[in-house]
Amino acid sequence: MTDPDGHSAPKGLLLVGGTSDIGRAVAATYAARGWTVTLAARDAEGAERNADDIRTRSGAHQVAVQHLDILDTGSFEGFLDGLDTLPDTVVCVVGMLGDQSRAQEDTDHATTVMRTNFEGPALLLEMVAARFAARGHGLIVGVSSVAGDRGRASNYVYGAAKAGFTAYLSGLRNRLGKTDVHVATVKPGFVRTSMTADMDLIGPLTAEPDAVADRIAALETRPSDVVYVLGIWRLIMFIIRAIPETIFKKLSL
């Protein structure tokens, strides 16, 4: 795409989840590469702080903020119609770990966890996919979780929602497989963020937000369908999925 003066217009990224640590790292990586970046978040003030940080660190000025509540599904169409231009890439990093014990007793909390991790992102990306398909190209990246690979007692509400999101992305990828709209599923494993600040993370199994951002940005030139940010997680989850249910249900995981 070129402007009236014949200059190539920068590509555009829509980052959904603009206040998260991973989202900030992804946005900063794209901005540093000359992309225009739009941070979408329910907390617009928090997203603006991230935008200011990105502008300061990268020198990029084309970083904008848009309000978007991932639970307000009725607002999605108007949100997308209100963007200045349809982005080239949409990355959805929205996530809510929640509290498993609370979710077992509090239906409202369980509902919020499920809607935040599955319903909202899937419905939004479905609308994005329709627009990308009509245009003829685009990259959709959904950040899911290894927790969705098999349900565990310690986080099965969150894991079930992420499993749904993973299945959704797989189906969308299958539907668009013969077009130039690519759909990628990214499973970071443990990531050192504010969401995991209270967790006792295992060093070799834990990625930094910048590493997740680099793997996502690499999809622009090296498309891939399912990405485990740390390769060790692909092996770990292969083993966990292979454990017979009669044994698995007796484990404390």
Active site residues: 158
Q: How many residues does the chain have?
A: 253
Q: Which residues pair with 186 in a beta bridge?
A: 143, 227
- Exposed (0-12), middle (13-18) or buried (19+): which is 213, by Cβ within 10 Å? buried
**Tokens (6 digits) for 195:** 């969401």
* Cβ neighbours of 158 (radius 10 Å): 27
Decide: 192 and 149 in contact? Cβ < 8 Å: no
Place of tokens 């848009």: 66
What is the radius of gyration, based on Cα positions, of the chain?
Answer: 18
Spatial distance between the Cα atoms of 213 and 250, rounded to a whole number of angstroms: 37
Question: Which phi and psi (to 5°) does residue 4 adopt?
Answer: -60, -20
Spatial distance between the Cα atoms of 4 and 180, rounded to a whole number of angstroms: 26
Decide: 48 and 232 in contact? Cβ < 8 Å: no
Spatial distance between the Cα atoms of 229 and 246, rounded to a whole number of angstroms: 30
Decide: 234 and 215 in contact? Cβ < 8 Å: no
